[in-house]
Amino acid sequence: MALDLSMPVLVVDDYKTMIRIIKNLLKQLGFEDVDDAADGTEALAKMQDRRYGLVISDWNMEPMTGYELLKQVRASDSLSKTPFIMVTAESKTENVIAAKKAGVNNYIVKPFNAATLKTKIDAVFDS
């Protein structure tokens, strides 16, 4: 699957500053169409209204975590193929393993920069 910079991207994080940072990094990489959601519940609702080419989600959120969002996306017939990158401040091995088992496409540990984000996105679309 080729990387399309015009595809819509959904950034999910309950911390507005982090959403702004990720959106700015995506714009630096050339993405123009970036939406955001404050938690997994809002993200799922947006994903049912619009098809996103990529979801970048934080792990730790309330009431629905990024991990729960990932599991719901993978269980959905219409959403299951959506590329999904998990972002977290925790680099616990068990979290990485759990996310991989749940079907995450890639995993980024905070803090990160545009180069790291680009590498992770490229790896998802080059596979």
Report d(CA 83, CA 103) in Å as an integer. Answer: 9
Residue appearing with tokens 């996306």: 73
Whether 2 shows a pLDDT value over 90: the answer reads no
Q: Does the residue 118 lie in any domain? A: no
Would you say residue 101 lies in a domain? Answer: yes
- Domain assignment present for residue 24? The answer is yes
Q: What is the mean pLDDT of the chain?
A: 95
Evaluate whether residue 3 is within a structural domain. Answer: no
Q: Does residue 84 belong to any structural domain of this protein?
A: yes
**pLDDT value of position 127:** 61
Give pLDDT tens digits for 7-52: 999 999 999 999 999 999 999 999 999 999 999 999 999 999 999 9
Residue 76 located in a structural domain: yes
Which residue in 65, 66, 63, 41 sits closest to 55, CA to CA?
66
Residue 86 lies in a domain: yes
DSSP codes joined into one string, 7-21: S-EEEE-S-HHHHHH
Total domains in the chain come to 1
CATH code, domain carrying 70: 3.40.50.2300
Domain-embedded: residue 115: no
Residue 1 has pLDDT above 70, yes or no: no
Q: How far apart are CA 81 and CA 85, in angstroms?
A: 12
Q: How far apart are CA 80 and CA 15, in angstroms?
A: 26
pLDDT, residue 92, reads: 85
Residue 99's domain comprises 9-105
Residue 123 has a pLDDT of: 96
Ordered alpha helix ranges (H), 50-92: 66-75
